[in-house]
Amino acid sequence: MSSLGVIDYGAGNLRSVLNTFSAAGYEGKLIRFVEDLEGITHLVLPGVGSFGDCANKLRAQGLEGPVKEWIANNRPFLGICVGYQILFEKGEEDPGVPGLGIFKGKVVRFPESDLKVPHMGWNPITEVDSDSLMWQGMGETPYFYFVHSYYPIPLDESLISATCEYGEKFAAAIQKGNLMATQFHPEKSQKLGVHLLKNFMKIAE
């Protein structure tokens, strides 16, 4: 039976994430310490705030190693927004703070242009692999809600599960094995967000 854990590192819209999972039919437990992971089958790292704050707080709570081990063991994991970004090696937002380094690549800021930064609002994504469990039942052009000024550039482009256009094309989501991560916010994306969380919880059922 699936058991959901949502990492609480002192930031992030945790109540919104938990409420959206509840709408998907799953009640979650907040994870603050290593021992809280006992019995958890599906782990979520939400993200609001800065790259550096998220990485530093995970380390301060002793969760960096357990998160890395969780992902290395191919256990179901979902990273959202900054929780997606810190999976990479480094970010322009806080260049002195290393990310988790799960994947090679960096997190960059949108270049100066006529477009507003942060990128905020509803945008369509383009699925790279429409057969992926991540996108099952989404339709041809799903829209999700974004709020961000930075985005990852994965060195391994095969990780990219979906792209989005905002002045330029960027990696809106990645997937590898039982890991999913999104730059958009499923918890702010209404019905399709709920559906994506259901798809995530179907991993390894």
Q: What is the CATH number of the domain that holds 99?
A: 3.40.50.880
Is 119 an active-site residue? no
Q: What is the mean pLDDT of residues 127-140?
A: 89
CA atoms within 13 A on the CB side of 128: 16
* Closest residue by Cα to residue 58 from 29, 79, 27, 39: 79
Tokens linked to 151: 């985005």
Q: What is the mean pLDDT of residues 1-18?
A: 87
User: For position 194, what pLDDT does the model report?
Assistant: 97
Catalytic residue among 42, 148, 164, 187: 187
Catalytic residue among 81, 119, 127, 195: 81
Is 89 an active-site residue? no
Spatial contact of 188 and 197, defined as CB atoms under 8 Å apart: no
**In terms of C-beta density within 10 A (0-12 exposed, 13-18 middle, 19 or more buried), how is residue 197 classed?**
buried
Q: Report pLDDT digits (tens) over 74-122.
A: 999 999 999 999 999 999 999 999 999 999 999 999 998 889 999 999 9
Full residue range of the structural domain in which residue 31 is found = 4-201
Model confidence band, residue 12 (pLDDT cutoffs 50, 70, 90): low
Catalytic residue among 42, 119, 148, 185: 185
Number of domains in the chain: 1
